[in-house]
Amino acid sequence: MNGGACGPKRAARADGHDVPPPEAGVTGIVDGLRRASWLTPERVRAHARTVAIVGWLALAALLATSHGGVDLLGRPIGTDFSSFYAAGTLARAGQPAGAYDWPLLRSVEQSIFGAGTPFYSWAYPPFALMPMALLAGLPYLLALAVFVGLTFVAFWVVVRRMVPPGPEALWAFVGFPAIFVNAAHGQNGFLSTALLGAGLMLLERRPVAAGVAFGLLAFKPQLALLVPVALAFERRWSTIAAAAATVAVLLGAALLAYGPSPWSGFFQAAALSRQAILEQGGTGFHKLQSVLAAVRLLGGPSTLAWVLQAAASIAALAVVAWLWRGRATPAVKGAALVAGGLLATPFLNVYDLVLLALPLALLAPRANGPAPLPWERLVLLAAWLLPFVAVAAAGGAMLPLTPLVLVALLWLCWRRAAR
């Protein structure tokens, strides 16, 4: 036997130098990911600029190759916005309850886009019909442009105030993949992000205005599940009162405009959506981004999926309550509220991930500083890329990434507060 020293042997290369053992290479890779020092401002700017250019060109190509508001696959341009427009058309014609009558809504969509168009349902509260009725008075593509354009401006104004200075941060914001996902769907992710972000920004200086912004989120309440909890733990009673008053005004306006008849249809449509989408996976579990959908995607039964979703919701609530009750910075509190709210809801679509712009903007300044937390930059990079890869990873590789990234963001907020 050779009586050499103990330890991993090194293979000799032809030039006489030793080759490091494999363990050193693996350790180096892990350490590189943990610190992510390779994620320089120059690389962020270059890659984000590329994504922005490709994304805007793709949207332009989608529009240029369409005919009569329908793309090459027979889908309406703006896909989901077709149901917004059809629901507004019914409300404008004096049939607001018809927006929740899915056979009737389908017939309106087919009359606008052709008999072969896929069906897109409407399940928003009746007060959301009022702006849609106004937009339905415009030609479809113009209505889509107005809706996406105005909500994007609101999104830009709010999030731009949070983004740290510097061209790399601006390009990371402009090239955020969720922007193109939401625009392609004609969805309301820009609006929900603008409202939640405005509420967070106004909370200290103008608590009543913050409550109004939070209250307007009632059109999509599943994205604001933890907002009342956070506000209660900080004893923001004036904000809570303003939010409640805003919701009451919305309800009253809908009753005055349409009467009580749409509400029974709304609750029936909500129940049908729950059954068709959350229980049966009618739109595909790979397209949903919640813990519940992840369990169903991986073959778990419905009962287990709901139990694990409830556990995730309770855990998110506990973390948010702890942070908002303590002395964490407003940036950490806001980031945790958004990430925790996304984790807590069972109904989460990929276009809702536009909301990740808020924790990215709030957490980025510290991550780009001289002493970021371990894994911090990698977690933020994963959150930035997530809207682009989430559906493909879930559908192609059976890998639901969104719950993992949201848990990582909450962990990051907890680490910052603990430090």
Burial 213-233 (b: 16+ CB within 10 A, else e): bbbbbbbbeebbbbbebbbeb
Q: Where are the alpha helices (DSSP H) in 115-220?
A: 129-135, 140-162, 167-174, 177-185, 189-202, 207-216
Nearest to 351 by CA among 176, 225, 178: 178
Residue 290 DSSP label = S
Distance of alpha carbon 317 from its chain centroid, rounded? 18
Cβ partners under 8 Å of residue 179, min gap 6: 55, 152, 190, 354
Q: What angle do CA 35, 40, 42 make, to 5 degrees?
A: 170
pLDDT at residue 31, as a whole number: 67
Residues 415, 177: Cα–Cα separation, whole Å: 27
Cβ-contact 380, 364 below 8 angstroms: yes
pLDDT at residue 170, as a whole number: 80
Nearest to 201 by CA among 150, 154, 149, 151: 154
pLDDT at residue 350, as a whole number: 94
Nearest to 354 by CA among 115, 196, 182, 231: 182
CB atoms near residue 60 (< 10 Å): 10
Q: What angle do CA 373, 378, 382 make, to 5 degrees?
A: 135
pLDDT at residue 370, as a whole number: 63
pLDDT at residue 115, as a whole number: 87
pLDDT at residue 5, as a whole number: 42
Residues 331, 336: Cα–Cα separation, whole Å: 9
pLDDT at residue 173, as a whole number: 85
pLDDT at residue 393, as a whole number: 93
pTM, to two decimals: 0.88
Burial zone of 397 (CB within 10 Å; 0-12 exposed, 13-18 middle, 19+ buried): exposed
Cβ-contact 363, 309 below 8 angstroms: no
Per the document, the length of the chain is 419
pLDDT at residue 230, as a whole number: 95
Question: Residue 11: which H helix or E strand, with range?
Answer: strand 11-12
DSSP strand E in 288-411: where? none
pLDDT at residue 38, as a whole number: 67
**Average pLDDT along the chain, 419 residues, taken 10 residues at a time:** 44 47 61 67 80 89 86 89 96 95 94 90 94 96 96 94 78 88 95 97 96 96 94 95 97 95 91 88 91 96 96 96 91 96 96 96 77 81 92 92 96 88
Q: Where are the domains of the chain?
A: 145-418
Cβ-contact 147, 42 below 8 angstroms: no
CB atoms near residue 315 (< 10 Å): 16
Q: Integer distance in angstroms from the first to the last C-alpha of the chain?
A: 52
